[in-house]
Structures are given as C-alpha cells and as structure tokens.
Amino acid sequence: MSESKSTPTSHQVPPTRRRGSMVRPAGRGPGTFVKGAIILTTCVLALSACTNASGSAAGPAPSGSSNSTFDAASVTPDQTLASQVPAAIKSKGTLIIGSDTTYAPAEFLGGADNRTPMGYGVDLAKAIGATLDLKVDVQTAEFTGILPALGPKYDLGISSFSITNERLEAVNFVSYLNAGTTWAVRKGNPKKFSPDDVCGKSVGVQTGTTQEDPDLKNRNEECIKAGKQPINIVTLKNQTDVTTRLVNGSLDAMIAESTLIGYAVQQTGGAVEKAGGVYNTSPVGIAVPKNDTALAELVQKVVAKLIADGSYQRILDSWNNSDGAITSPEVNPAVKS
C-alpha cells in the first residue's frame, strides 16, 4: 500500500497488503487471474502455451466468467435480525459494500458486460443483505481506499481482507474464511509430485508472493543444505501463466494461495488438481466501522445463521473454495500478526 488515510474516528488505517499473500504493495497480481480466466481455459483446451516472452497473459482481457450456482433469492429474510439493522442503513434500504473487484474468485467483475460484481465474497454480501431484508450495492473501489471510507461511504468492506493486528486497530472485523497456501499438479499427478519432496522439481509460482519468498526460497535452501538438487523455481508475473505451464507439462507443480488454486481447478475443467492440504492459514474478514461494534455483532450473527442454514457452504462450494470454510465466525478474532 502506498499511504494511509484517517477514518472518521481518527484511527489510522495501516498500509498492510491484502490477504497477506502478496509481498509487493497492494497485492494486485492475483487480480490478473480474472482477466486471464477465459484465455486460460482456451489454452487448456488447445494444450498450447499462451504466454509471451515476458510471461504475461497474451491477448486482450476477456469478460470474467462465473460458475456460481448460488442464488441469493434462496435466502429467507430473518425479521429478528433485520430489526437490529442501524436506522441509517434501514432508512435507505440498501447495504453499501466497498470491494476491490479485481480478485477472483472472491470479488471480480464479469458477466456479459464485464461489469457485474461476482465471486464468493459478492455472493456472501448478497446473502447478508437478503437475511437483513436489504438490497445490496457492491461498489468497486481501490483496495487501499476501502477501510478509510467505512462509515461515511461504505457500510461494510468485503474485499478479501486478511485480519491483522494493525487493521484491528482501525476497524472491526467479522471472520468468514480461512485462506492459506496449497499446491497443484496436473490431473492424475503424472509426475508423481509430492509437496514433501520438492528438491530437483520444477515448481511454478507467481512473482512477489509469499509462496515465492519465503516458502520456496526456504525450501530451496534446505535442499541445497541437504546436498540435494535445488528446486527449479519458475516465477511468472501472472498466475494464469503459471497454471497454463502446469497444464502444458513444463512444470511438475505450482504453489499459490489456496483460493487461487481452487479457482484454477474449476476454470481448467479439472485439468489440474490439488496436491496436499492447505497450510499457513490466516482468517479473512468483513470490515466494519470501528465505532460500530453493534453492526459488527449483527454481521457476525448473520454469517453464523448462513453457516447454520447451509447458504454459506453452498456459496463456497459453487466457487470450489470450501477448503477455507469456517464453522464459527468471530468479531475481532485473535490473530498472530
């Protein structure tokens, strides 16, 4: 993040990166996954490379794609919870959500006009609104501008925010997901890759992520110390290109954030599959103004209800991201960093 701004309550919004997965500021890299999603699917079907010399996705950015089967109309309003909606929100009848819609499969723009917000974060926002008998307006925003604008501009921020101690000083959070790191291989794992034996293997990773450094960096150092072959670490700017190379057989495996791996499996029609479980997980949360603990507690009750009635699970299942599901949402959960 570049600079921090002040909230109306004078809490300083920390310049921490999104999710905590990206080393470079703002973590925009995974957002290119949306733009390359359909390109990637085309490449998979043709089994031909779609990268240029720089390693970025070739061709123009296509419309986003959605395989979601969740319909917010299936969520029944809960009048007990709806009665607890703050008067300022109830009077306008709309829950306004700030979201950086460049981060598939959580929040991104797609549909026929390539302007329709979608993703599991967007579906969750719609389900929250439906439970509270409110309309939902998901507004595209710069990631760094969402937290400072909570209250005067946005009622909630749903934009794959990692919950950190720094951010908890500025806003309230309601946890709704765990995200971490996982691996993927070609369907059937033809190269018999194991995350426990990466020395001498070709592994693809997106440049600037914590999967590149410190994860692969540390693993490579261990290989060398043990007198084994170093890892052939293939770093590329775009996650789509990493996935395409895996499908085409030039990589033994790839490593990425768990939500991106799940989406890659879905977008490639199963041409890749997960290898091993998710590790180094951290909670992801819905941001609520710091001075509105009552709203945070209400959102927690709503998410808990959506978990109990199965809506939450249907949302994650439709985006192939059930690995990150939680069973008990919390307001301002304790975190390590």
pLDDT digits (tens, 9 = 90+) for 111-127: 999 999 999 999 999 99
| 119 and 40 assigned to the same domain | yes
pLDDT at 287 over 90: yes
Residue 333 falls inside a structural domain? no
With a CB cutoff of 8 Å and minimum separation 6, the contacts of 231 are 198, 199, 200, 201, 202, 203, 216, 219, 220, 223
> If pLDDT is split at 50, 70 and 90, which confidence band does 20 have?
very low
Mean pLDDT of the chain: 84
Specify the pLDDT at position 209.
Answer: 87
More confident residue, 224 or 14: 224
Alpha helices per DSSP H over 195-238 = 217-225
Q: What percent of the chain has pLDDT over 90?
A: 75
Specify the pLDDT at position 179.
Answer: 94
Q: Give residue 180's region: left, alpha or beta (phi > 0; psi -120 to 50).
A: beta
| Cα–Cα distance, 31 to 64 (Å, whole number) | 11
Residue 302 falls inside a structural domain? yes
Residue 332 falls inside a structural domain? no
| 102 and 218 assigned to the same domain | no
Q: How many Å is the maximal CA-CA distance in the chain?
A: 68
| 216 and 296 assigned to the same domain | no
More confident residue, 165 or 16: 165
| 257 and 195 assigned to the same domain | yes
Residue 337 falls inside a structural domain? no
Cβ atoms 231, 252 nearer than 8 A? no
Residue 205 falls inside a structural domain? yes
| 271 and 317 assigned to the same domain | no
| Cα–Cα distance, 131 to 309 (Å, whole number) | 11
What are the φ and ψ backbone dihedral angles of 9, each rounded to 5 degrees?
-95, 10
- The interaxial angle of helices 239-247 and 258-267, nearest 10 deg, is 50
pLDDT digits (tens, 9 = 90+) for 65-104: 556 789 999 999 999 999 999 999 999 999 999 999 988 9
Mean pLDDT in residue range 242-264: 96
Mean pLDDT in residue range 165-189: 97
Alpha carbon 28 to its chain's center = 11
Collapsed DSSP state (helix, strand, coil) of residue 90: helix
Residue 153 falls inside a structural domain? yes
pLDDT at 153 over 70: yes
Q: Which of 25-29, 222-226, 332-336 has the lowest mean pLDDT?
A: 25-29
| 32 and 110 assigned to the same domain | yes
Give CA angle at 256 (253, 257), nearest 5°. Answer: 150
For the domain that residue 223 is a member of, what is the CATH number? Answer: 3.40.190.10
| 142 and 190 assigned to the same domain | no
| 120 and 140 assigned to the same domain | yes
| 150 and 108 assigned to the same domain | yes
Q: Which of 44-58, 63-77, 203-217, 280-294 has the lowest mean pLDDT?
A: 44-58
Please tell me the total count of domains within the chain.
Answer: 2
| 164 and 231 assigned to the same domain | no
Collapsed DSSP state (helix, strand, coil) of residue 272: strand
Tokens 């939450």, residue?
Answer: 312
| Cα–Cα distance, 125 to 132 (Å, whole number) | 11
| 87 and 153 assigned to the same domain | yes
Which of 246, 262, 279 is the last residue in one of the domains? 279
**What is the extent of the structural domain holding 146?**
25-52+71-180+282-324
Which of 252, 279, 306 is the last residue in one of the domains? 279
DSSP helix, strand, coil percent of the chain (3-state; round to 5): 35, 25, 40
Six token digits for residue 43: 């490449």
Residue 5 falls inside a structural domain? no
In what side-by-side order are the strands of the sheet with 272-289? 135-140, 94-99, 156-162, 272-289, 171-186, 253-257, 202-206, 232-236
> If pLDDT is split at 50, 70 and 90, which confidence band does 22 have?
very low
Locate the DSSP E strands across 198-271.
202-206, 232-236, 253-257
10 Å CB burial of residue 162 (0-12, 13-18, 19+) is buried
Specify the pLDDT at position 238.
Answer: 84
Six token digits for residue 17: 């990166």
| Cα–Cα distance, 254 to 186 (Å, whole number) | 9
Mean pLDDT in residue range 161-179: 95
Q: Which of 82-86, 172-176, 262-266, 310-314 has the lowest mean pLDDT?
A: 262-266
Please state whether the peptide bond connecting residue 25 to the residue before it is cis, i.e. omega within 30 degrees of 0: no
Residue 98 falls inside a structural domain? yes
| 187 and 111 assigned to the same domain | no
Q: What percent of the chain has pLDDT over 70?
A: 80
Q: What is the pTM of this model?
A: 0.77
